[in-house]
Amino acid sequence: MKTIGILLSGRGSNFEAIAKNVASGEIPNARIVIVISNRADAGGIETARRLGLEALVIPSKGKVREDHDREVAAALQRHNVDLVCLAGYMRLLSPWFVRQFPHRILNIHPSLLPAFPGLEAQEQAFAYGVKVTGCTVHFVDEELDHGPIIVQKAIPVLDTDDEKSLAARILEQEHIAYSEAINLVLNREFRIVGRRFFGAGNELTK
């Protein structure tokens, strides 16, 4: 059985989609052992408690980045996590933290990287006028929104879209893409050559 730790800062819909797929067996042979938020008011923490998962708030405000990261890493290591999933974790990780979990930290970003890294990627894409956008699940390295790409999903930007409708359609794809990426890295062989990720192939059954 593989163990997943979730880091989040807000609503937690990506976390909830992962939790649902773990419970239904779409992500087989895995369980979420800890959900950590750097914000006490994160909706994802409520959800974790409702689902009976261990939920921990480790406030980041006013702390030196690496000191905070050391507390988070200690909690993850106490739970022996195999994979750390950033699910709307709106805080940069220190290089020290990234080195503790080599090729074991995933992030989801609401654009087709390397386009539109950073905050409010959906709004950036909308304002830029792209005709296609989407989401990316990638390994975390020491640069922002940068590591090797595991899964991307593309969607068209419709003439009828506004920022809200576009973000909502991207989010639907995020909820599929994240579980696919977890399946590709958690229980199977994969290779990374340069920046290129080669997995064993996976489609969610629903």
Instruction: Please give the positions annotated as active site.
Output: 109
Segment 130-159, which members bind ligand GAR (CB under 6 A)? 145
CB contact set of 92 (below 8 Å; sequence gap of 6+):
65, 144
In angstroms, rounded to a whole number, what is the distance separating the alpha carbons of residues 81 and 66? 19
CB-CB contact of 135 with 177 (8 Å): yes
User: What is the footprint of ligand GAR within residues 23-62 (CB under 6 A)?
Assistant: 44
166 counts as binding ligand GAR under rule CB under 6 A: no
Does 88 engage in binding with ligand GAR (CB under 6 A)? Answer: yes
Binding residues for ligand GAR, total number by CB under 6 A: 16
Q: How far apart are CA 12 and CA 87, in angstroms?
A: 7
Which residue of 34, 81, 108, 125 would you call a contact of ligand GAR, by CB under 6 A? Answer: 108
Q: Give the length of the chain.
A: 206
Q: Which is nearer to ligand GAR, 74 or 92 (CB)?
A: 92
Helix then strand then coil, % of the chain, to nearest 5: 35, 25, 40
Smallest separation (angstroms) from ligand GAR to the CB of 193: 25
Q: What gap in Å lies between CA 10 and CA 42, rounded to an integer?
A: 4
**Binders of ligand GAR among 183-202, rule CB under 6 A?**
none
- Candidates 51-59, 62-70, 105-113, 185-193: pick the segment binding ligand GAR (CB under 6 A): 105-113
91 part of the interface to ligand GAR, by CB under 6 A: no
Which phi-psi region, left, alpha or beta, contains residue 80 (left: φ > 0; alpha: ψ -120 to 50)? left
Residue type, 176: I
Q: Which residues bind ligand GAR (CB under 6 A)?
A: 8, 10-14, 44, 87-88, 108-110, 121, 145, 171, 174
